Structure 1
């Protein structure tokens, strides 16, 4: 089994990439990273240091478990020798995992036409696809040329909730400006717009501000629909990793 994790050159969420990476590799699953130019990437530094979060530092930055996993991940050979987006061949992989991040630099990832086509390929081949937080935007923007709809059009999904995105923005906008607003449109609005019936397909869940841990995942929301797994935010990352792995070994 080999899982592909595409990320931008800079700005991905360390929790959403490193916690799944750690879980998968611990369970003997091979992971390959891909970046736009095939050069090593770096996560959003603010999420690792908490710099600029002021009194909300502990609430908003990556927790200790995620920071530890990230330091392990960036030392791995897979991370230091990524593929470039245009060298991805979906036939080489069992599954695709799409992390998120909200620093403006992540637009390189979310707006890549090359990556969108690769996402379409994974869905067309009925391979497992996982998306968390802004990773669901990458999936929502992948348009199937056969249907002219998003690959998510007929799937159940969740995403970063509006209350989560706007909550973080209003907590920090006085000194961080639009740091938490990657785009004027919220993630939830864009993902819901890609669905055939948002009222039926979109999932909100409970506990939007409680982070899960490896041992306690009852606050998480992870949706599974056929070969697609989604989660809302870094606080769902442990459960997301577990469910993604379970789907992977059973597909």
Structure 2
């Protein structure tokens, strides 16, 4: 006898870049959502299967000797910065998922066919730009927000949401909402690690967009761009010094897990949930799953 269908099961659209997406934000979110009985549909710019940034899996090339073919196999900083073991296992399992291997294209997406939208991130410019700058994808994001369906965005995925302007208002879909995203503190720390301890020949590895002449440091950061799209700067949120486990939440040294959400910081505003970086992903995906099941509007 077949088991009874899950009455709270939803279909989630997860558009991703063709390459260089963050493996934790995609694979852990996929695993948590499917474990709750939800179906995840993937989409890429051209409908071809996607691949993550391989350095995020192996850690090879993140140390300052990483440009030397034989020495790059030796990992010190790379062991710390790469995706953790649990997320690597989730990504390995994702490689056998039929929907991941046969994604739709951005252009053919029909927002009304899905119950929710999840926007993961990544950082490496060569792969992320086609995702962040896609007008068809921004139109899809607008349709989800305007429909009132649950939406989740993490890290650079919040940039995609910030750039999506509602045809009803002419403003970003995040205008008037509370949100978080990759903070300048976290982004700058990773940038400095590359400049002084890691890929000194490629110091902007963790920066998707670099400042132009005359712009202050951080002007092109995720936090700065997202904040410019909001109704007021105070609508961008991060963990405050009086928050429980503030050091775990703010240092960038800890990542959450299924059994320990203390390092995570997630913001929920109605039917929209956001998070900062891969260290928040377990609480982020679990919170989004709850929104889906509650049918939040």
TM-score range, shorter chain: over 0.9
Find 1:5's aligned residue among 9, 14, 36.
Answer: 14
Q: For 2:255, what is the secondary structure of its paired residue?
A: coil
TM-aligned CA deviation for residue 56 of structure 1? 1.8
Alignment root-mean-square deviation, CA: 0.9
TM-aligned CA deviation for residue 146 of structure 1? 1.8
Superposed counterparts of 1:1-251, under 5 Å = 1-54=10-63, 55-104=76-125, 105-173=127-195, 174-184=200-210, 185-199=220-234, 201-205=235-239, 206=246, 207-208=249-250, 209=252, 210-251=254-295
Please tell me whether Structure 1 or Structure 2 has the larger radius of gyration of its CA atoms.
2
TM-aligned CA deviation for residue 150 of structure 1? 0.4
- 8 Å CA contact 1:47, 1:60 repeated in 2: yes
- 8 Å CA contact 1:31, 1:78 repeated in 2: yes
- 8 Å CA contact 1:52, 1:176 repeated in 2: no
Bigger share in strand: 1
Deviating beyond 6 angstroms after TM superposition, the runs of 4 or more aligned structure 1 residues are none
Gaps of 5+ in 1: none
The two structures have a TM-score, normalised by structure 1, of: 0.98
Q: Distance in 2 between matches of 1:129 and 1:198?
A: 21
Number of aligned residue pairs: give it: 250
Gaps of 5+ in 2: 1-9, 64-75, 211-219, 240-245
